[in-house]
């Protein structure tokens, strides 16, 4: 055990980590064994850890004084009436120092420190009701998750208090310090038309009548409540109305006006704020290309600085008591995630558990953050991960995220690491339309499928070629869902750039997507939003035909690998089957792989392995076999 001196003059003992060795293999990346949930008791005497070995979930209780663990609960087959299911511990919420609320996937119950059941709670625990009272047994729970029914439940006695709110689907709610639901945002849709609204409601006390404060169209910028402070007639809300990024504002419920900004950043969204119920914030979290946690409390800030020196180049999330025991969740681009226990009195930090146990010791490649200019001058952020074999002239995989109104993050990504370990540079452009980079950037992608959104991807690839990073003769474009569409359209629009393309569960025709049998096409809210964000195929079908990989399949010159889950509901397998048929009819090179019992993603290890092995074999065949082949195992 070695000791490190930190800026706060606190000595921290750290367990040495194994030096990285061989590249990450497929087997290591997809093995699910590891910790899934870790939480520290309010008094810091115990840590509850849920482990999963690929077959069984197991809840263990770790004693922070003796450093010994015992099993409280594990997966078991349960029969209740005509129902038979697996009851497995998934998440834990402390309801006092000697009481745990455990989510079992289908139901929740409280248990004591010996694993003995105390009370039935409901279907799923939302969190502690009285957040400033660590010994309070009152919890907020879903009593009917599908219908959105919630209640306050006493984890010691099972006493239940039903919480009601106006009719609608909840997208956000806010409680006061006593656990009373005081504000809620609801979505309601017209019965005969695709017209949906978001309404914000408030009540002055837990037993008062609900008052509607505002109503917005589903496509408008609307605010949502975050917390109800002690100050009367006041809410803390999240909004970007009148600005480019989400910030925290006060809201006057009597005047029904947004007040002063409480926390904001000009280029990054405010993700969360802790200490909203106090006179000053404790912590503000933002998410630019890397998540940042800024402590405004000086004691916590000192602890954060010390931990960041011991665990550098990581995002370290702290919870607990800054003068006692602190739980640290640490992750990065090369660290899948690990939990550490910091003992402030002893100045010692100990690793408790890893999220992906099998990845320990593998050589991980760092994600670089970059920015480049699109053809119209728009600045496009991106991530670049280079293989160990070299920084210049490497074969390149252009990996496009789905959504498209989502984004990639600076964190450990098994697909990126497998590709980089196999000798490929991996480029992840955050093209316009991606979320998290401001309202203007997001809305610049509206109506731009196959157009400016695709041009942003193209500009990034050409920039990597210009810098000599990518070998222009060995580039493949890969994506899933929307990313699959972009991969196929890239082969059509810029055939000179790519030597191959891979689409998993990709959209192949926008007009067909808007009217297929998917869950999205059957949802009123999604249909209405798509009219704004994608376009209306009823008024301008020719526009979509011009950017349809399906209808333009004859223009594709490079080999294509199509993969699809047979049970996909977001993008039905009919998309892939139509594209396969069109490519074959045009005499193109196409390979096809359908996964049984899989949907819009892959959940079975055997299929994950087949996916990566098939994709790597396809890349090697069309971009040239690499020297590094450990990842193919």
pLDDT, tens only, 72-109: 999 988 887 778 888 999 999 999 999 999 999 889 99
452 contacts 429 by C-beta, under 8 angstroms:
no
Question: What is the Cα–Cα distance from 419 to 398, expressed in whole angstroms?
Answer: 11
Dihedral pair phi/psi, residue 389, rounded to 5° = -70, -20
Question: What is the Cα–Cα distance from 85 to 253, expressed in whole angstroms?
Answer: 46
Question: What is the Cα–Cα distance from 94 to 108, expressed in whole angstroms?
Answer: 13
Would you state the pLDDT for residue 537?
81
Question: What is the Cα–Cα distance from 435 to 253, expressed in whole angstroms?
Answer: 29
How many helices (H) and strands (E) are present in the chain, helices listed first? 11, 39
pLDDT, tens only, 242-293: 999 999 999 999 999 999 999 999 999 998 887 755 555 788 888 889 998 8
Question: Would you say the C-alpha torsion 442, 444, 449, 451 has a positive or negative sign?
Answer: negative
Dihedral pair phi/psi, residue 130, rounded to 5° = -110, 90
As a whole number, the mean pLDDT across the chain is: 91
pLDDT, tens only, 157-208: 999 999 999 999 999 989 988 889 999 999 998 877 888 999 999 999 989 9
Chain CA centroid to CA 165, Å: 28
User: Is residue 7 pLDDT above 50, yes or no?
Assistant: no
Name which of 17-21, 64-68, 323-327 the model is least confident about.
17-21
CA distance readout (Å), 584 to 478, 578, 590, 591, 611 = 20, 10, 7, 10, 22
For the entire predicted model, the pTM comes to: 0.92
559 contacts 495 by C-beta, under 8 angstroms:
no
Would you state the pLDDT for residue 631?
52
Q: How far apart are the first and last CA of the chain?
A: 34
Which pair of tokens denotes residue 320? 């607990």
201 contacts 172 by C-beta, under 8 angstroms:
no
Mean pLDDT value of segment 596-607:
94
User: Is residue 14 pLDDT above 50, yes or no?
Assistant: no
Percent over 70 (pLDDT), the chain: 94
List of domains in the chain:
367-507+559-632 (3.40.50.1820)
Which pair of tokens denotes residue 80? 């209740």
Radius of gyration for the chain, computed over Cα atoms and rounded to the nearest angstrom = 26
Cβ partners under 8 Å of residue 402, min gap 6: 479, 480, 481, 482, 483, 484
C-beta contacts of 347-352 below 8 A and 24+ residues apart: 347/10, 347/11, 347/12, 347/13, 348/12, 348/13, 349/12, 349/13, 349/14, 349/307, 349/310, 350/13, 350/15, 350/67, 351/15, 352/35, 352/38, 352/47, 352/49, 352/62
Question: What is the Cα–Cα distance from 232 to 228, expressed in whole angstroms?
Answer: 9
Length of the chain: 633
Question: What is the Cα–Cα distance from 66 to 64, expressed in whole angstroms?
Answer: 6
pLDDT, tens only, 107-122: 999 999 999 999 999 9
Would you state the pLDDT for residue 118?
97
Task: Band the pLDDT of 308: cuts 50, 70, 90.
Answer: very high
């Amino acid at each position: 055990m070695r000791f490190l001196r930190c800026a706060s003059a606190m000595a921290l003992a750290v367990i040495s980590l194994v030096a990285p060795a061989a590249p990450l293999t497929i087997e290591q990346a997809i093995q699910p064994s590891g910790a899934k949930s870790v939480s520290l008791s309010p008094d810091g005497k115990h840590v509850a850890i849920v482990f999963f070995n690929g077959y069984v979930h197991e809840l263990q209780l770790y004693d922070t004084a003796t450093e010994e663990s015992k099993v409280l609960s594990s997966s078991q087959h349960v029969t209740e009436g005509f129902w038979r299911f697996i009851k497995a511990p998934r998440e834990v919420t402390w309801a006092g120092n000697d009481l745990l609320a455990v989510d079992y996937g289908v139901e929740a119950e409280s248990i004591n420190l010996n694993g003995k059941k105390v009370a039935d709670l409901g279907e799923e625990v939302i969190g502690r009701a009285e957040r400033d009272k660590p010994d309070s047994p009152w919890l907020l729970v879903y009593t009917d998750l599908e219908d959105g029914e919630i209640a306050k439940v006493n984890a010691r006695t099972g006493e239940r208090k039903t919480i009601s709110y106006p009719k609608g689907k909840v997208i956000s709610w806010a409680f006061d310090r006593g656990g009373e639901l005081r504000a809620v945002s609801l979505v309601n849709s017209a019965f005969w038309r695709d017209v949906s609204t978001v309404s914000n409601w408030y009540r002055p006390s837990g037993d008062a009548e609900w008052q509607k404060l505002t109503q917005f169209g589903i496509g408008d910028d609307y605010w949502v409540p975050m917390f109800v402070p002690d100050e009367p007639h006041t809410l803390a809300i999240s909004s970007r109305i009148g600005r480019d990024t989400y910030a925290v504002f006060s809201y006057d419920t009597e005047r029904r006006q947004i007040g002063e900004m409480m926390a904001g950043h000009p280029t990054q969204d405010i993700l969360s704020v802790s200490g909203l119920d106090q006179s000053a914030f404790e912590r503000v979290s933002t998410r630019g290309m890397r998540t940042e946690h800024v402590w405004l409390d000086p004691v916590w800030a000192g602890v954060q600085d010390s931990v960041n020196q011991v665990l550098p180049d990581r995002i370290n999330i702290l919870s607990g008591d800054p003068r006692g025991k602190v739980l640290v969740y640490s992750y990065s681009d090369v660290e899948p995630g690990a939990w550490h226990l910091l003992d402030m009195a002893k100045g010692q930090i100990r690793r408790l558990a890893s999220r992906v146990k099998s990845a320990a010791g593998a050589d991980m490649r760092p994600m670089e953050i970059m920015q480049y200019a699109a053809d119209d001058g728009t600045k496009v952020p991106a991530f670049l991960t280079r293989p160990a074999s070299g920084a210049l002239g490497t074969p390149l995989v252009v990996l496009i995220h789905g959504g498209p109104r989502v984004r990639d993050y600076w964190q450990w990504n098994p697909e990126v690491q497998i590709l980089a370990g196999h000798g490929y540079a991996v480029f992840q452009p955050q093209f316009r339309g991606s979320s998290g980079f401001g309202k203007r950037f997001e809305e610049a992608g509206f109506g731009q499928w196959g157009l400016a959104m695709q041009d942003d991807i193209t500009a990034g690839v050409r920039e990597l070629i210009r810098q000599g990073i990518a070998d222009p003769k060995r580039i493949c474009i890969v994506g899933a869902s929307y990313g699959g569409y972009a991969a196929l359209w890239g082969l059509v629009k810029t055939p000179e750039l790519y030597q191959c393309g891979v689409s998993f569960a990709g959209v192949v025709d926008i007009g067909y997507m808007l009217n297929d049998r998917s869950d999205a096409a059957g949802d009123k809210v999604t249909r209405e939003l798509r009219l704004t964000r994608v376009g209306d195929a009823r008024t301008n079908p020719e526009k979509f035909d011009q950017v349809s990989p399906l209808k333009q399949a004859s223009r594709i010159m490079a080999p294509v690998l199509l993969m699809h889950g047979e049970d996909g509901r977001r993008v039905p397998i009919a998309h892939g089957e139509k594209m396969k048929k069109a490519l074959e009819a045009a005499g193109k090179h196409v390979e096809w792989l359908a996964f049984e019992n899989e949907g819009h993603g892959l959940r079975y290890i055997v299929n994950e392995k087949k996916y990566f092995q098939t994709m790597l074999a396809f890349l090697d065949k069309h971009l040239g076999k690499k020297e590094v082949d450990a990842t193919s195992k």
